[in-house]
């Protein structure tokens, strides 16, 4: 793994930078979930991270490494809030390009941390082009949501913590499932987990219709999202895996999993009832994949990342109220 674009040393460096400001989120278990699945399931609770998602990790690492420059980012919401909070902590101005249809809670959270928000139409405009233009005009650093060394290294601290916390539980993980949009969380966690557990099976999880990483891993090359796809998982609508992140994931990840919106809603309800966690749709896809049997976990120790909890209350109620509860063990 020495020739990967992000190494364990990069993640350990990011962990030291993040230690004073980030939350070491818990790795939790549910006896009922373990019994229902016939597995030992360790769930990483990133909705409890600062700003409500893992994105703060990569954002803070990248903002601090920008060396005091103003920052610009583009995001559907979680990276936006992460960069806004990181910029406030670092004392630098932040401008965030966000889609008009992003959840109101994410737009409000970004503004609450002092960032200027530039809204765009995701069906007609390019957030990358807008962000690059704003950064050039302001002489600012562009903080990419996944396709950059500092961002991926920061996200990898989530994996580093899972390694440490698994040991504290006295358990050795056989398998890990990670939510995936552009691939930054998966790539960073894959580096940390594979370094500690060379035989671990790593999987990405995505919404059906936006399973570009799954298809790309199978094809051995980056493939884009098929036109016309829709999903409730607003945080995971990247049109194609990142070039940077895919270089890591294609070498370390065993394969991709895809789940329906109904399976996501079921996972959101299970997370709420079993762990007392509010999880947004995109944050629940890894748990959804495990619950739906997309990968065989029986008799194994499994790491599952719940990646974020920024969901509007009305949407959370609508999705979870209609979803089934956890089925009892057979």
Q: Which residues have CB under 8 Å from 122's CB, separation 6+? A: 76, 99, 100, 101, 237
Write down which residue in 122, 142, 162 finishes a domain: 142
The residue from 125, 142, 159 where one domain ends is 142
In this predicted model, what pLDDT tens digit does every residue of 114-170 receive, in sequence order? 999 999 998 899 999 999 999 999 899 999 999 999 999 999 999 999 999 999 999
Mean per-residue pLDDT for 20-44?
98
Whether 36 is in a domain gets the answer yes
Same domain, 123 and 241: no
Any domain includes 245 = yes
Out of 107, 142, 177, pick the residue that ends a domain: 142
Residue 326 lies in a domain: no
39 and 130 together in one domain? no
Question: In the structure, what pLDDT confidence band is assigned to residue 24 with cuts at 50, 70 and 90?
Answer: very high
311 and 257 in a common domain: yes
90 in the same domain as 204? no
- Does residue 202 sit in the same domain as residue 170? yes
Same domain, 72 and 204: no
Band of pLDDT at residue 76, cut at 50, 70 and 90: confident
The answer to whether 36 touches 326, Cβ cutoff 8 Å, is yes
Spatial separation of the C-alpha atoms in residues 53 and 48, rounded to whole Å:
7
- Domain range holding 285? 8-54+149-321
Q: What confidence score (pLDDT) does residue 330 get?
A: 67
Q: Are residues 88 and 153 in the same domain?
A: no
Domain identity same for 278 and 164: yes
In this structure, the answer to whether residues 207 and 306 fall within a common structural domain is: yes
pLDDT tens-place string over residues 266-317: 999 999 999 999 999 999 999 999 999 999 999 999 999 999 999 999 999 9
CATH of the domain at 198: 3.40.50.1100
Cα dihedral 167/172/176/182 (nearest 10): 40
Q: How many domains does the chain have?
A: 2
Is there a single domain that holds both residue 137 and residue 259?
Answer: no
Q: Does residue 259 share a domain with residue 127? A: no
- Residue from 12, 29, 7, 21 nearest 149 by CA: 7
> What does pTM read for this prediction?
0.95
Same domain, 215 and 258: yes
Whether residue 1 lies inside any domain: the answer is no
């Amino acid at each position: 793994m020495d020739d990967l674009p992000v190494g364990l040393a990069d993640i350990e460096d990011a962990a030291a930078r993040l230690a004073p400001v980030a939350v070491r989120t818990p790795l939790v278990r549910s006896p009922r979930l373990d019994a229902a699945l016939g597995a030992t399931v360790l769930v990483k609770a990133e909705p409890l991270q600062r700003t409500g998602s893992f994105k703060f990790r990569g954002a803070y690492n990248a903002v601090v490494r920008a060396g005091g420059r103003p920052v610009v980012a583009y995001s559907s919401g979680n990276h936006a809030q992460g960069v806004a909070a990181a910029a406030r902590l670092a004392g630098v101005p932040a401008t965030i390009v966000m889609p008009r249809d992003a959840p109101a809670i994410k737009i409000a959270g970004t503004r609450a941390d002092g960032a200027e928000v530039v809204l765009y139409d995701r069906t007609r405009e390019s957030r990358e082009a807008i962000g690059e233009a704003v950064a050039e005009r302001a002489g600012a650093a562009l903080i990419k949501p996944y396709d950059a060394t500092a961002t991926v290294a920061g996200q990898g601290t989530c994996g580093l913590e899972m390694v440490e916390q698994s040991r504290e539980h006295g358990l050795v993980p056989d398998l890990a499932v990670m939510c995936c949009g552009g691939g930054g969380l998966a790539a960073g966690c894959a580096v940390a987990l594979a370094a500690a557990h060379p035989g671990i099976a790593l999987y990405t999880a995505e919404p059906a219709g936006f399973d570009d990483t799954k298809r790309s891993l199978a094809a051995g090359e980056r493939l884009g999202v098929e036109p016309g796809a829709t999903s409730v998982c607003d945080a995971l609508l990247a049109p194609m895996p990142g070039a940077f992140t895919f270089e890591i994931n294609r070498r370390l990840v065993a394969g991709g999993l895809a789940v329906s919106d109904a399976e996501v809603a079921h996972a959101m309800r299970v997370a709420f009832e079993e762990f007392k966690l509010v999880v947004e749709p995109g944050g629940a896809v890894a748990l959804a994949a495990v619950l739906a049997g997309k990968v065989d976990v029986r008799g194994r120790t499994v790491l599952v990342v719940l990646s974020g909890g920024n969901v509007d209350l009305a949407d959370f109620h609508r999705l979870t109220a209609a979803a089934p509860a956890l089925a009892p063990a057979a």
